Chains A and B, each alone.
Chain A
């Protein structure tokens, strides 16, 4: 991948930023961190179609951090909105009303509540139709905007405002990456804002391809995960170092892991920094639950072969 990229080194990353500041996202928002970096790589010729969630507060009239158009949809229907925008652009091109150089990248911006749940049906339909779009999910593992209720992306044992019991959320995080691969996407990649070089290369690559493409970004969320905003970067880095958030991509029929943590840090180091897992450590340490979480991560990487 390194041969056909303009991002060889962290020094090649953009030093001015496209996304305007002054947004109402929380201080230390890991989702905004990723979106800002992604926008820098995609450039101003991007139209965002935003499923209801935290990020819809980015554009509240008369304020917008974007340099171009933005469309608000309900939680379940962003891919349908993207279809309409794509079709309109195609018609304008066919009629010679816009030049090929004026064409735009259509990007769905969505939270995990939509991406893993309410929006899945519309998403699957868009992939079936081979819609030419990028689907960008910032995954803060819950319904952040409404007070961090459990979503299908919530990890096992996390406390949320709807999983308040002693054991936290009893279910397991859904594997959205594999769902997109199985559904016939042309490109699928996981990213995180604390790995900006890996992120920039993947966005660059996605932008050059056609068809349904997904970028799935883990989005450390100080408000919903209950930690101090300054720890956002540390938690993001630990998600990768512990192997909880594998950085990988699917292209040309193959899944590649871009960063195999050579010596994985124990998952407790990731969990213990977040209030949503505090009940696994206090008042008594839940050794069995912690061992289960660790063994699930180990099994994943054993299968990858690292």
Chain B
């Protein structure tokens, strides 16, 4: 059985990628299962989707713990523990990361020995086509899908969208498909799981409790602050103190997420644990005092998060 996991962010077409890969495998005669998993169902939030394919009926259920292939369409997810990108990777797994960096660098950074391949974004390419690029890569690496069936699956899935959008996606997927020719079929099928080899889930015993406990009231204030929406960010707004004139707190008032406070000296302070990176503050600052840095660059330049 093939077990494939796609990891990305809401808006990158991860769910669609897994559906396309599933349909293409089905067209090749496989029994297929595909399913997306969302946390916060929002653009930018980490999501993943998985595909199982086998010549025999697929009875396995649930999240894939032992992937043969993992495709990551946003490299910033690798360091997000909640995204669980690395879960269950073993020596025979293949890991594909959308990144301009060298595969060897990733192997070193992650300390893994499995095969790592990178999927460099096309020139000037935004997030929109990453789903197509990753499904093209996955199809070639599995090695069981013809270009024609891949294309057919994309057209069927995107039917109804404007034709230029469909053509761009088909083009990007096929280009990516061809670019992995030298690794064609490097993904191998994993063993069938036996009952004994399956790790039982960490069940929590729940007793039948009175309503006051099972439907509890929240007594704490603003407990949402325990949720780190800063993990959604791919780009980071950074205030340039030399340009900020401590204006009338425009950025702080207009930030939808109340993620900019004003300090005692009337200086704006961005709360990076919660800033979602919408960059609205960058657009409204009259002094152009807020600059944008990719999260990656931030990680490389600074030791503190």
Say whether A and B bind each other.
yes
Q: Which of A17, A63, A194, A231 contacts B258 (CB 8 A)?
A: A17
B262 proximity list for chain A (CB < 8 A)? 15-16
Given A59-B218, A62-B218, A234-B283, A21-B223 contact (CB < 8 Å): no
* CB <8 Å contact, B256 and A16: no
- Does B58 count as interface, using CB distance less than 8 angstroms? no
B227 proximity list for chain A (CB < 8 A)? 22-24, 63
* CB <8 Å contact, B256 and A29: yes
- Does B288 count as interface, using CB distance less than 8 angstroms? no
- Does B253 count as interface, using CB distance less than 8 angstroms? yes
CA distance A36 to B255 in the complex (A): 9
Q: Which of A17, A63, A223 contacts B43 (CB 8 A)?
A: A223
* CB <8 Å contact, B256 and A66: no
CA distance A29 to B232 in the complex (A): 14
- Does B189 count as interface, using CB distance less than 8 angstroms? no
* CB <8 Å contact, B216 and A61: yes
- The number of residues on chain B lying at the interface, defined by a beta carbon within 8 Å of a beta carbon of chain A, is 45
* CB <8 Å contact, A66 and B278: no
Question: Which label, helix, strand, loop or mixed, suits the secondary structure of the B interface?
Answer: loop
- Does B254 count as interface, using CB distance less than 8 angstroms? yes
A66 proximity list for chain B (CB < 8 A)? 221-222
The number of inter-chain residue pairs (CB within 8 angstroms) is 142
* CB <8 Å contact, B258 and A19: yes
Given A22-B224, A232-B280, A13-B258 contact (CB < 8 Å): no
Which B213-243 residues have C-beta < 8 A from chain A?
Answer: 216, 218, 220-229, 232
CA distance A16 to B260 in the complex (A): 9
- The number of residues on chain A lying at the interface, defined by a beta carbon within 8 Å of a beta carbon of chain B, is 45
- Does A93 count as interface, using CB distance less than 8 angstroms? no
- Does A120 count as interface, using CB distance less than 8 angstroms? no
- Does B42 count as interface, using CB distance less than 8 angstroms? yes
* CB <8 Å contact, A231 and B256: no
Residue of B nearest to A223 (CB): B43
- Does A209 count as interface, using CB distance less than 8 angstroms? no
Which B181-229 residues have C-beta < 8 A from chain A?
Answer: 216, 218, 220-229
* CB <8 Å contact, B256 and A33: yes
B248 proximity list for chain A (CB < 8 A)? 9-11, 13
Q: Which of B252, B261, B266, B278 contacts A27 (CB 8 A)?
A: B278
- Does B124 count as interface, using CB distance less than 8 angstroms? no
Q: Mark B24-46, 1 if CB is under 8 A from A, else 0.
A: 00000000000000001111110
By a beta-carbon cutoff of 8 Å, the part of chain A in contact with chain B is 9-11, 13, 15-17, 19-30, 32-33, 36-37, 58-59, 61-68, 164, 193-194, 196, 222-223, 229-234
**9 residue pairs, one from A and one from B, having the closest CB atoms:** A20-B222, A28-B278, A21-B274, A22-B227, A27-B278, A17-B258, A230-B279, A27-B276, A229-B278
